[in-house]
Amino acid sequence: NRADIPQHVVTMLNNFPAQLHPMSQFSAAITVLNLNSKFAKAYSDNVPKSKYWEYIYEDSMDLIAKLPTIAAIIYRNLYRDGTAVGAID
């Protein structure tokens, strides 16, 4: 599922200090998602440039699906009790 957040990202977000600005947390989470990038893998596998757009598109769709949950985790950690975010249906 595109919206699933890798556990290492959730763990990272849950371990940030409460004083860290929400946008800094958001940016860090997006950066760490690069570990699961389809484009980064394709690039390292020497995919032809004419095919880059396919992998970039997939990464973009994955990112768009994940952003609301990442924002919700940050919000709950900073302004609520830090309970888990409900499943996306």
> Which tokens belong to 68?
């609301």
> Which tokens belong to 14?
């849950």
pLDDT digits 0-9 by tens, 15-72: 999 999 999 999 999 999 999 999 999 999 999 999 999 999 999 999 999 999 999 9
Does a structural domain hold residue 68? yes
25 touches 16 (CB < 8 A) = yes
Residue 8's nearest CA partner among 22, 26, 25, 29 is: 29
Does a structural domain hold residue 89? no
88 touches 1 (CB < 8 A) = yes
Q: Rounded to an integer, what distance in angstroms lies between the CA atom of residue 17 and that of residue 89? A: 30
Q: Rounded to an integer, what distance in angstroms lies between the CA atom of residue 88 and that of residue 86? A: 7
Does a structural domain hold residue 86? no
Does a structural domain hold residue 48? yes
Domain count, the chain: 1
Q: Report pTM.
A: 0.86
